[in-house]
Structure 1
Amino acid sequence: MIVPGVAADAAALAIPLEPLPADQVVAGTPSTGFVELTDTIGVWEHTPGTSTDVEADEVFVVLAGSATLSFTDSSLAPVELRPGSVVQLTAGMHTVWTVHETLRKVYVAG
């Protein structure tokens, strides 16, 4: 948890990782994990590989790594993610995360 007025080092947080369920894995053996800083803010990480997800409402900023984020249920073009990328997702979006280098992001949900 973060404390109002006190900085948290999102880049240095230890994040426990777990393998993704087989039905979400498209390629490789990716693992993911997150640390909640508040009820709506957290830090998420995804190791190299490709996985699918159904998104919640969130805005995120990439801290480290690189990936391609594709959308399977819309006409949106894939997004190349790198440090500094800011993306908004809406609830129900079906995504494919192709992670080239371990991706770490800070997200604000809701």
Structure 2
Amino acid sequence: MFRVLDVEAAVPTAPLDPATVVDGSPSAGSRALAAVAGVEVGVWEMSPGTATDVEVDEVFVVLSGSATVTFEDGERVDLAAGSVVRLRAGEHTTWVVHETLRKIYVA
């Protein structure tokens, strides 16, 4: 039996920790959709603004919006619908969200 996962449903968001906010007043949140063999699949969303983060092991696909992620080593990745990215646990990143970013993640 198949179960359709609703990636369009609302994601509860809250303001980010002020210690991580570099610019603006971004909010973010996530909603788990399923667990498969101990791995979580979910939807994450962040509103415009700039914030830092320390990543977990994750692969994600951008569903909508646009952003730029800069890694501690200086590498920059521009994100748009269809972008696929692999994050590694412990990586320090800075997220500049230009248009509310929505992604589906596997972590």
Cα RMSD, aligned residues only: 1.1
Return structure 1 stretches of 4+ with deviation > 6 angstroms.
Answer: none
Q: CA deviation at 1:38?
A: 2.1
CA-to-aligned-CA distance 1:23-55 (integer Å, 9 cap, x gap): 010000000010011241110000000000000
How does the TM-score come out when normalised to structure 2?
0.92
Partner of 2:56: 56
Question: Partner residue of 1:80?
Answer: 78
Cα offset for 1:13?
Answer: 1.1
Structure 2 unaligned blocks of 5 or more: none
* Number of the residue aligned with 1:97: 95
TM-aligned CA deviation for residue 9 of structure 1: 2.5
The aligned residue for residue 68 of structure 1 is 68
What is the match of residue 41 of structure 2?
A: 41
Shift of 1:83: 0.1
Moved more, 34-43 or 44-53: 34-43
CA distance in 1, matches of 2:9, 2:69: 24
**DSSP-derived class of the 1:38 partner:** strand
Count, aligned residues:
103
Shift of 1:97: 0.4
Pick from 18, 28, 36: which aligns with 2:14?
18
2: CA distance, partners of 1:15 / 1:9: 11
Question: What is the correspondence of 1:2-13 to structure 2 with a 5 Å cutoff?
Answer: 5-10=2-7, 12-13=8-9
